[in-house]
Structure 1
Amino acid sequence: MCNTLERRTRLKATDSTSAIACARSVKEEEREYQEFNKTTMQGKDFTFQIPDECLSCIFEKLGSVDRKSCSLVCKRWHWVEGQGRQRLSLFAQENLLTALSKLLSRFEHVTKLALKCDKKLTSVDDKALFIIGRDCRQLKKLKLKGCKQLTDDGMELFARVCGPLKKISCGSCGFGARGLNSVLQHCVNLEDLTVKRLKGLYEGPSELIRPGCGKIRRLCLKELFNAQLFGPLLAGSKHLHTLMLSKNSGNWDKLLDIITEHLPELVELQMEKLQLSDRGLQAVARCKNLEVLYVLKAPECTNVGLTAVATGCRKLRKLHVDGWKTSRVGDEGLLSVARACKDLQELVLIGLNTTVVSLSPLATGCLGLERLALCNSETFGDPEFSCIAGKCLSLKKLCIKSCPISDQGMEVLATGFPNLVKVKIKKCRGVTSASVDWLQNHRESLIVTVDDGLPSTTRELARSVPLGANRAPGRSALQNRSPLAKARLAIVAGGSFVACTLLRWSSSSGSGSSSPGAGS
């Protein structure tokens, strides 16, 4: 018996000593490994194991500030970041010329370059533009803004030496028609041209803008005093796909009558604030392949012009019409759209007094309508809202702004528009935030946004009012508010009855706090 106990105690002693020895050996190994790391791996850069291509992809995921900071870590990162950069934006002040050559030698693979200068400062000149065209051999997109020192000679030199340029955008620059003609003639790959507020067009003799190679597919002309000079370019661009005209002076009826015969491939046309009438819209109706049409702020256009467009352009997918509060476009023109444009997917009506007469055929005739916006309409109320709710079966996005709808009209969203995903209600005085809460409880998947133009305090107060109740807040809603919040609500309400009531409540509550005998 004694021998057995002695053996067990010996075994326990040996096990404990072996465990202690193992623990000591593990600690010693960890200590040796740490010392090895300090001595052998100190000062090593493990990012060298990452290929340059992967490191460049990492830099592309970073923001502008972080990317610039990373480029200063070491020489390799500085070189890789420069070689992988494809977009570059420079402040085009005149002192940029001294460092331009070295800068471009670092960014050899830039494809998109933007030169922007303040209008009050002196910009880079023709020499800088020549260096850019010579050194940026992969440049495809160039944006010039506020470069007043650029002349026609500089644009001609640039056009002769630049690489495969496909897009150029110029705004508030100093060159004119001769510089544009040089670019259109020598840049054989140019497909996208944007011209805004080009000051050089106002000086010297008027020179027409010619089509050059005739490969322009997208043309944007904005805020030009003599945009009629682009007539030959418009008529000669046989492959023109998108045309955007905004705030250009001159009579556009005659020019559209001429150029639309030569634009068989025109798909998108955007016109904003032009001298345009029904004659111009009748000329647009010749573009049989037109799919996107914006007619914005054209007060002389009537139902006649819209009817002509709907009859001629039966492939329309997007239609934006802004009547500019003239009420010359209404149910008659929209009925033509409902009958002819069966492929319509997006419809935006601004300042048009539409009624059930046209909205019902639009909802039933255009079965693919997915996006609808009704803005600044005095006739679109709860009855019109209820009329289209059960007929627009494909509608996904709805926007209503400054229309006389109320909380009762919002109730149709709980059952109508079965495929609706998102709805925005802006500046509709009859809609309160309480209807939004009610609607989200009945249709949780629908994203509802209400913007009444009021501060968050007023919207928070409206949430406490039940749907269908009087929207004027009661005193119980204001008892827990400070006098500053009450005064703020009174200011927001304007000079209305609610404002006077809020001011009276604020004064009475203030007197109640000072006088112990004041009651409600």
Structure 2
Amino acid sequence: MRGQDFINTIIPDELLIEIFRHLDGRKSHRDACSLVCKRWHRLESDTRDTIRIGASGSPDACTSVLVKRFVDLRNVFIDERLPVSLQFQTGFPLRSQRLRDYAGYRQFRSRIARRNVNKGPGSSKLRYTAENSGSESELELCSLSDAGLAALGRGCPKLEKLSLIWCSAVTSDGLNSIAGNCRHLKALDLQGCYVGDHGLAAIGQFCKNLEDLNLRFCEGVTDKGLIELAVGVGKSLKSIGVATCAKITDTSLEIIGSHCPNLESLSLDSEGIRDQGVVAIAQGCPSLKSLRLQCVNVTDNTLQAVGTYCSSLVLLALNSFQKFTDRSLFAIGSGCKKLNVLTLSDCYFLSDKSLAAIATGCRELTRLEVNGCHNIGTSGLEAIGRSCRGLSELVLMYCQRISDDALLEVGRGCSLLQALELVDCSSIGDAAICNIAQGCKNLKKLHVRRCYEIGDKGIIAIGENCKLLRDLSLRFCDRIGDDALIAIGRGCSLQLLNVSGCHQIGDIGVTAIAKGCPELVSLDISVCQTVGDMALAALGEGCPLLKEIVLSHCRKVTDIGLSHLVKRCSVLESCHMVYCPSITSAGVATVVSSCLNIKKVLVEKWKVSQRTRRRAAPVLADLCSEL
């Protein structure tokens, strides 16, 4: 009956709580439930165990409020790389501080490090540098401080996972608060935090259940802190990541090897690490399953030790090694029979013999990536195709010496292949793609970029044979035209399509996709200069689920095409249309006003009217002002 509250009358708290728990991972659903009534709001708050926080104007206050509302938190993720949108009391709006590349952020971090050193280990009074100004603002840096971290520790005694990404004002004092209050902590991510040894030592002293530790870009940590932590957590530590920590050397790794026998995952990116540290871990941690190395001073001796002692190794990633030779992978192939994932990036001295050794010894291999290893050619990949029948993902980047014959063997032997990515492989052409299409009918993902010998013939074969294909990217492939997309539209139901830079593709090809792929979610047709309004009208008719479209450099697209597109693509969230001379401010306004779910519009600043700017400022945060 209308006006009767049967749910709250009949269903007890315990049943409602159980329902809320089944919504874990679906924040929007839990948020909606919390708005039903006061009772649901209270119960949902009491049972939520995970929150994620981006940058905010008052991070300490925000954290304090959240921990008071959600009293049963076990997982807290704070990431200050996320955009901050502030309107300060001065009345001057500040746009998001975007740290777009690592070099820029390193400069920012260096300033923070110098200030922390000058002000002492407990100081967090850093200044915010306002955009478009050369001087420091009087406003404090919008970053979580030790005070906020202390409030988090007091409010979340059951905390198990804590992630502090680029929280630049946090120091060892804040970690001390977490260590003293959160004795059940299992995972700690301190990426980009300028914490010191004192804080790590406290974690090691009090958090005896710690399993996962990430110290990437923690420039203030030295061997002393890591040693004290390793000694403290002992047998519980299972995963550790270290990158750009110049003061961490082989000394601390040797201690980890002797005190952490259950270590399963190790990630190292350091110029200061040499053989003895990783060798000690290999000898002392026989349960090691995942090893990622980017250490230019490590030699064959390290991987020989891994092959000898780490028979449980499942994942191996080697990046930028110039002192490794085939001897290294001979040892891996001989000793690591369970290897599933292998990544070789810029390992210049590895040859086909290395891949042959892996093929012979590691027959359970499911994923292989070869990136910029210039001495690896066709025969090595042929060996993989003949021996590794379970291969499901293959990535070949900048492999100029690998020819069609290699993929012929992969097509014959690897029928379970689901993903293939080719980048700048100049010797691979249509014959290779046809072989893959005929032999790997389970293919779901195909990415090809700047492979100029691949044309319509190969992609037509994919459309005729690979009915499960959902993700297709053909970037800057000059020989691919409308015929290829017609075959794809007839044979596959794509969800993701990227044909950026394929200048032979026009309205006919895109229309075929629109008619044949009603589940299309993302489309990139940038730099396809013959695509026009007819294609956009077809997309509007045939692809109602489209959420993202990139139209940049499409000179024939006009406001009329945009109006047809957005008329039925009601869930569109992102639209990029830079360098489209026939699109005007009216077209931009049409997109913003017609798409209720729109979150991002990338366009020249001068094409946005004042009315549109007032109406949808957050959507237009990334305007290209210099164009």
By the TM > 0.5 criterion, same fold? Answer: yes
* Identity of matched residues, %: 21
What is the 5 A alignment of 1:29-44? none
Deviation at 1:78, TM superposition (A): 6.5
Instruction: Assess, with a 3 A threshold, how the Cα gap between structure 1 residues 74 and 477 changes in structure 2: closer, same or farther.
Output: closer
Equivalent residue in structure 1 for 2:225, among 118, 128, 131: 128
Match of 1:386 in 2: 486
Matched, 1:309 2:410: yes
CA offsets per residue over residues 285-342 of structure 1, 9 Å max, x none? 2212211111111011111121122122222111112244x2x211111121122112
CA offsets per residue over residues 466-516 of structure 1, 9 Å max, x none? 899xx86499999xxxxxx99978xxxxxxxxxxxxxxxxxxxxxxxxxxx
Instruction: Assess, with a 3 A threshold, how the Cα gap between structure 1 residues 209 and 174 changes in structure 2: closer, same or farther.
Output: farther
Matched, 1:359 2:459: yes
CA offsets per residue over residues 106-147 of structure 1, 9 Å max, x none? 4443322122347xx67502x333212111242221001123
What is the 5 A alignment of 1:265-284? 265-275=364-374, 276-284=376-384
Equivalent residue in structure 2 for 1:462, among 540, 558, 561: 558
- Structure 1 runs not aligned, ≥5 long: 1-45, 479-484, 490-520
**Match of 1:226, as an amino acid?**
K
1:380 is paired with a residue whose SS is coil
Deviation at 1:200, TM superposition (A): 3.5
- Structure 2 runs not aligned, ≥5 long: 1-41, 51-69, 80-142, 160-181, 565-579, 588-602, 608-627
How many angstroms apart in 1 are the aligned matches of 2:584 and 2:215? 59
What is the 5 A alignment of 1:167-206? 167-196=265-294, 198-201=295-298
2:457 is paired with a residue whose SS is helix
Match of 1:498 in 2: none
Match of 1:58 in 2: 73
- Counterpart contact for 1:375–1:402, Cα < 8 Å: yes
How many angstroms apart in 2 are the aligned matches of 1:487 and 1:260? 54
**Match of 1:377, as an amino acid?**
C
Matched, 1:209 2:304: yes
- Counterpart contact for 2:382–2:410, Cα < 8 Å: yes
Instruction: Assess, with a 3 A threshold, how the Cα gap between structure 1 residues 128 and 291 changes in structure 2: closer, same or farther.
Output: same
Q: After the TM superposition, which of the residue ranges 227-236 and 261-270 deviates more from structure 2? A: 227-236
- Counterpart contact for 1:248–1:274, Cα < 8 Å: yes
Instruction: Assess, with a 3 A threshold, how the Cα gap between structure 1 residues 279 and 56 changes in structure 2: closer, same or farther.
Output: farther
How many angstroms apart in 2 are the aligned matches of 1:261 and 1:477? 62
Deviation at 1:95, TM superposition (A): 8.1
What is the 5 A alignment of 1:65-76? 71-73=149-151, 76=154
CA offsets per residue over residues 428-460 of structure 1, 9 Å max, x none? 22234x456523431251316442446xxx999
- Counterpart contact for 1:221–1:244, Cα < 8 Å: yes
How many angstroms apart in 1 are the aligned matches of 2:583 and 2:194? 64
Matched, 1:83 2:159: no
2:291 is paired with a residue whose SS is strand
How many angstroms apart in 1 are the aligned matches of 2:405 and 2:266? 37
- Counterpart contact for 2:73–2:156, Cα < 8 Å: no
Instruction: Assess, with a 3 A threshold, how the Cα gap between structure 1 residues 488 and 216 changes in structure 2: closer, same or farther.
Output: same
Query: What count of residue pairs does the alignment treat as equivalent?
Result: 423
What is the 5 A alignment of 1:231-270? 231=329, 232-270=331-369
How many angstroms apart in 1 are the aligned matches of 2:456 and 2:341? 34
Deviation at 1:221, TM superposition (A): 0.6
Instruction: Assess, with a 3 A threshold, how the Cα gap between structure 1 residues 50 and 346 changes in structure 2: closer, same or farther.
Output: closer
Match of 1:3 in 2: none
How many angstroms apart in 1 are the aligned matches of 2:323 and 2:555? 48
**Match of 1:319, as an amino acid?**
L
Match of 2:122 in 1: none
Q: After the TM superposition, which of the residue ranges 50-59 and 303-312 deviates more from structure 2? A: 50-59
CA offsets per residue over residues 325-373 of structure 1, 9 Å max, x none? x2x2111111211221122221122223433432222212222222222
- Counterpart contact for 1:373–1:398, Cα < 8 Å: yes
CA offsets per residue over residues 215-270 of structure 1, 9 Å max, x none? 10011111111232532134311100111111111142121122310012111111
Match of 2:237 in 1: 139
Instruction: Flag the structure with higher helix content.
Output: 1
Computing the radius of gyration from Cα coordinates, the structure with the larger value is 1
**Match of 2:371, as an amino acid?**
E
**Match of 1:463, as an amino acid?**
D
**Match of 1:209, as an amino acid?**
Q
Equivalent residue in structure 2 for 1:318, among 405, 415, 419: 419
Normalising by structure 2, report the TM-score: 0.59
- Counterpart contact for 2:367–2:392, Cα < 8 Å: yes
C-alpha RMSD over aligned residues: 4.0
How many angstroms apart in 2 are the aligned matches of 1:72 and 1:414? 54
Normalising by structure 1, report the TM-score: 0.70
Matched, 1:372 2:472: yes
